[in-house]
């Protein structure tokens, strides 16, 4: 794998060595159940509590507001269904939920489910740059929705929504605000003291932590029904013995992200910009998706006109470059990305898009190599297509 | 790699010969309950892992629906009995997939087909033959391949018997070694062709028409012409105690099914259209050949008379039964009956 170039950090990231080391030590040495009161349990409990504090520091929230989950998908499901069903239990009426048209499937699927339960769902359109329109949001907020859920940074395009402005508006109308910050954490400044959201989802493996662990932030006073019953863990919000090593890894990854967020953002942006320059210099007929002034530091979504993205991803893979067409969860299907079509791309244009995302371990030499391989493969596929 | 034993072993044989192999599963259906589904792709992936070769899924579900399944439905509604596997080979395995192979920098596409290709060392021309295992032979489904396609195709199982293939799969520890044979058309797993037609073309559900005999006497009412095929005897539901009745012709224009005695199935001369000659062009003179008119047909001796517009008039030495429009007529050499000369689509008898 040594000469491969991994440009799919929005799908998942490698563990930082410090995190792997910490988790390995926990796996070897700490076997107690955090719910046990004896010394073995206390050691485990301490690790979980420490992780809670580390994440709280990163997000500027109270540690008591953090509930560990198996990742962002569970957190997103819990946030949406938990708040809406809780509200319904109180008032016995259908609730109104607002989202964007470019949510991740772990938001979109619960929305479809809520809709089927009789709740009302509004999806805010995005413009060609991938941004929602604040005036449209205001108009929808005037209808008095119960919950607004917004993807902070889009997984496919990297487009960052104007979260501070959105949060102010949502809070002013009294609705709950959930943010899916899965792609934003560790790559953008996610600070709930500036963006007063009520709930937030994140996942450790998107910022060099382990897979299978994440958390849901539920601000004090916000009512959200639990989705997993049967244990006292997480203050009865999420039953089940804790994934202690994973939680410890998440905590450390969060701490490391807080420590050098600025440096990371600068470094990733430089690599990403270098990649874009190399591609524009060597590949004709390409365009970039999304608003470049409001974009994650590490993400580059490019449309290569006349090229099938799924074939390009496979041929790049054989040449040693890992990238993705649309989102990773869409592999094996060739439906055009709903994110790109929401931005006004035709199905054919969307199917010609490649998502390149840099991260830990990527250097400039790799970027140069990857750009050369991409240029070569795109030229080859276009040539083959013309000969058919 | 379909996830079945044949393509698994084909891949294994090539990997063993040190070819640089990339496994590809063609996902042809969006429906997980069917062949070429994600579950089969998972089986293929496990085989590829075992062989240490790279593996990808190539999704052609939309195109397959349009180019194969919908055409299959329309053929039935036009009174033909289609055979979609031929199109799947010439348009998908050795066209779309071949294009994908080019994208991957691969020279050839190998499949688990039972058939043989030989390249003439002098002329460089490809010749297509029946498999050594005559019982598994699939050359009938490959008659549409062009020289260009054949030169880039490879059938590693052409010289093997099925039991050898299974034995080898077991020896190699491939999880697909004992997977059952797929007999039916992959997108009609339960053999209910009419149901597939009606799903795609719901208006077919309401179709009704007359059973008539040769003289046009009405014998009953049928459930829509897509329920019937030439030569069919069972399931007609005509009360006729004294003699068995067979479908001898489907009159799509008038929505009629013509039935009659077994002798009425006999055809001495017929026409075949959209003919492909493996050599690349049609012979100038009539040629002797054995012609196979359906998958499980032994072949019949004929004279082939090439006509304009890629058509051929087929004159059988002895009459054949059920020369069914929509099926393939594949031409094999007259002596051994092993080399595929070409083939085409049955237009119908010349009466």
Q: What CATH number does residue B280 fall under?
A: 2.40.30.10
- Is the domain A5-14+261-387 a CATH 3.40.50.300 member? no
Chain B hits for A311, Cβ within 8 Å? 58, 100, 103
CATH number at A17-259: 3.40.640.10
Domain housing B94? 5-171
* Same domain? B158 vs B22: yes
* Same domain? B293 vs B326: yes
- Does B99 reside within a domain? yes
Chain A hits for B29, Cβ within 8 Å? none
The residue-averaged pLDDT of A56-74 equals 97
Asked if B27 lies within 8 A of A380 by C-beta distance, the reply is no
Instruction: Decide if pLDDT at A104 tops 70.
Output: yes
* Same domain? B80 vs B167: yes
Instruction: Decide if pLDDT at A178 tops 50.
Output: yes
The residue-averaged pLDDT of A12-24 equals 98
With residue A138 as reference, give the H or E element that holds it: helix A134-141
- Annotated domain spans of chain A: 5-14+261-387, 17-259
Asked if B59 lies within 8 A of A333 by C-beta distance, the reply is yes
* Same domain? B116 vs B250: no
* Residue, of B160 and A232, whose pLDDT is higher: B160
Does residue B186 have an active-site annotation?
Answer: yes
Residue A264 CA to its chain's centroid (Å): 17
Q: For the domain that residue B69 is a member of, what is the CATH number?
A: 3.40.50.620
* Same domain? B134 vs B81: yes
pLDDT for the residue B179: 84
- Does B29 reside within a domain? yes
The lowest-confidence range among A48-62, A171-185, A370-384, B168-182 is: B168-182
Buried b (16+ CB within 10 A) or exposed e, B82-119: bbbbbbbbbbbbbbbbbbbbbbbebeebbbbbbbbbee
B288 touches chain A (CB under 8 A): no
Q: For the domain that residue B250 is a member of, what is the CATH number?
A: 2.30.30.280
Q: Which of B154, B171, B188 is the last residue of a domain?
A: B171
pLDDT for the residue B29: 77
Asked if B100 lies within 8 A of A334 by C-beta distance, the reply is no
Asked if A384 lies within 8 A of B22 by C-beta distance, the reply is no
Chain B hits for A381, Cβ within 8 Å? 103
* Same domain? B102 vs B69: yes
Q: Which of B245, B260, B275 is the last residue of a domain?
A: B260
Mean pLDDT split into 10-residue runs, chain B, 351 residues: 94 95 89 59 92 93 91 94 92 94 96 97 97 95 97 97 95 87 80 90 90 90 92 82 86 93 93 97 95 94 96 96 95 95 96 80
Domain count, chain B: 3
Chain A hits for B37, Cβ within 8 Å? none
Question: φ and ψ at B245, to 5 degrees?
Answer: -110, 145
- Does B119 reside within a domain? yes
* Same domain? B254 vs B274: no
Chain B hits for A331, Cβ within 8 Å? 57
The residue-averaged pLDDT of A179-186 equals 98
Instruction: Decide if pLDDT at A329 tops 50.
Output: no
Position A347 confidence tier, pLDDT thresholds 50, 70, 90: confident
Residues with Cβ within 8 Å of B130's Cβ and at least 6 positions away in sequence, in order, are B115, B116, B137, B139, B332, B337, B338, B339, B340
* Same domain? B9 vs B135: yes
Model confidence, pTM? 0.89
pLDDT for the residue B37: 61
Asked if B100 lies within 8 A of A311 by C-beta distance, the reply is yes
Burial-class residue A39 by CB neighbours within 10 Å (0-12, 13-18, 19+).
exposed
- Does B313 reside within a domain? yes
Q: Which of B36, B85, B88, B338 is catalytic?
A: B88
* Same domain? B307 vs B252: no
Min Cα–Cα distance to chain A from B153, Å: 17
A311 touches chain B (CB under 8 A): yes
Asked if B103 lies within 8 A of A388 by C-beta distance, the reply is no
* Same domain? B150 vs B241: no
Q: Which of B57, B59, B103 sits opposite A315 (nearest CB)?
A: B103
- Does B306 reside within a domain? yes
B65 touches chain A (CB under 8 A): no
CA–CA–CA angle B22, B25, B29 (5° rounding):
165
* Same domain? B15 vs B128: yes
- Does B200 reside within a domain? no
| CA–CA distance, A348 with A353 (Å, rounded to integer) | 9
* Same domain? B143 vs B252: no
Asked if B57 lies within 8 A of A315 by C-beta distance, the reply is no
Instruction: Decide if pLDDT at A333 tops 70.
Output: no
- Does B342 reside within a domain? yes
């Amino acid at each position: 794998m040594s000469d491969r170039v991994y440009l799919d950090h929005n799908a998942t990231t490698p563990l930082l060595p410090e995190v792997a080391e910490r988790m390995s030590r926990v796996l070897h040495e700490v076997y107690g159940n955090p719910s046990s009161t004896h010394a073995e349990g206390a050691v485990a409990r301490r690790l979980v509590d420490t992780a809670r504090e580390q994440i709280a520091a990163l997000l500027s929230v109270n540690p008591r507001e953090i509930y560990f989950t198996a990742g962002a998908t569970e957190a997103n499901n819990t946030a949406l269904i938990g708040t809406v069903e809780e509200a319904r239990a109180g008032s016995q009426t259908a609730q109104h939920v607002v989202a964007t048209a470019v949510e991740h499937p772990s938001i979109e699927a619960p929305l479809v489910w809520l809709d089927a339960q009789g709740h009302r769902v509004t999806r805010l359109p995005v413009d060609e740059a991938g941004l929602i329109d604040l005036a449209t949001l205001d108009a929808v907020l005037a209808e008095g929705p119960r919950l607004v859920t917004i993807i902070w940074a889009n997984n496919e395009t990297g487009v960052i929504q104007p979260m501070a402005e959105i949060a102010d508006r949502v809070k002013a109308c009294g609705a709950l605000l959930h943010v899916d910050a899965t792609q934003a954490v560790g790559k953008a400044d996610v600070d709930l003291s500036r963006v007063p959201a009520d709930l937030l989802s994140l996942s450790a493996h998107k910022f060099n932590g382990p897979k299978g662990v994440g958390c849901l932030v539920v601000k004090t006073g916000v009512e959200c029904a639990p989705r997993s019953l049967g244990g006292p863990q997480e203050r009865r919000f999420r039953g089940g013995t804790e994934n202690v090593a994973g939680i410890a890894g998440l905590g450390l990854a969060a701490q490391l992200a807080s420590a050098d967020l600025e440096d990371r953002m600068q470094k990733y942006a430089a690599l990403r910009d270098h990649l874009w320059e190399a591609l524009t210099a060597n590949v004709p007929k390409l365009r970039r998706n999304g608003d470049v002034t409001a974009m994650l530091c590490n993400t580059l979504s490019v449309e290569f006109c006349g090229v099938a993205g799924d074939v390009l991803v496979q041929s790049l893979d054989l040449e040693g470059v890992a990238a993705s067409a649309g989102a990773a969860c869409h592999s094996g299907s060739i439906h055009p990305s709903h994110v790109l079509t929401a931005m006004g791309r035709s199905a054919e244009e969307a199917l010609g898009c490649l998502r390149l995302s840099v991260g830990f371990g990527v250097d400039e030499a790799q970027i140069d190599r990857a750009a050369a391989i991409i240029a070569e493969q795109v030229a080859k596929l276009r040539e083959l297509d013309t000969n058919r | 790699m379909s996830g079945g034993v044949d393509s698994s072993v084909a891949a294994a044989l090539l990997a063993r010969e040190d070819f640089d192999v990339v496994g590809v599963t063609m996902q042809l259906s969006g429906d997980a309950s069917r062949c070429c589904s994600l579950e089969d792709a998972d089986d293929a992936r496990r085989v590829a892992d075992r062989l240490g070769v790279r593996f990808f899924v190539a999704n052609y579900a939309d195109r397959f629906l349009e180019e194969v399944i919908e055409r299959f439905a329309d053929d039935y509604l036009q009174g033909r009995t289609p055979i979609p596997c031929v199109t799947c080979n010439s348009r998908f395995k050795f066209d779309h997939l071949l294009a994908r192979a080019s994208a991957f920098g691969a020279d050839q596409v190998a499949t688990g087909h039972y058939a043989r290709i030989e390249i003439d060392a002098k002329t460089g021309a490809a010749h297509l033959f029946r498999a050594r295992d005559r019982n598994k032979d699939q050359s009938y489904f490959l008659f549409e391949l062009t020289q260009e396609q054949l030169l880039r195709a490879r059938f590693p199982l052409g010289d093997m018997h099925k039991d050898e293939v299974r034995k080898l799969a077991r020896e190699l520890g491939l999880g697909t070694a004992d997977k059952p044979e797929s007999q039916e058309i992959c997108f009609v797993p339960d053999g209910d062709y009419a149901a597939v037609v009606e799903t795609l073309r719901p208006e077919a559900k309401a179709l009704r028409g007359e059973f008539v005999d040769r003289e046009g006497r009405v014998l009953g009412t049928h459930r829509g012409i897509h329920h019937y095929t030439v030569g069919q005897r069972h399931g007609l539901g005509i009360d006729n105690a004294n003699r068995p009745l067979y479908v001898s012709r489907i009159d799509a224009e008038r929505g009629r099914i013509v039935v009659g005695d077994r002798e009425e199935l006999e055809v001495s001369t017929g026409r075949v259209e959209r003919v492909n000659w493996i050599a690349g062009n049609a012979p100038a003179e009539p040629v002797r050949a054995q012609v196979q008119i359906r998958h499980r047909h032994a072949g019949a001796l004929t004279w082939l008379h090439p006509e304009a517009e890629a058509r051929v008039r087929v004159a059988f030495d002895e009459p054949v039964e059920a020369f069914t429009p929509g099926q393939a007529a594949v031409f094999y050499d007259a002596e051994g009956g092993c080399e595929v000369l070409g083939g085409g689509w049955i237009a119908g008898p010349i009466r």
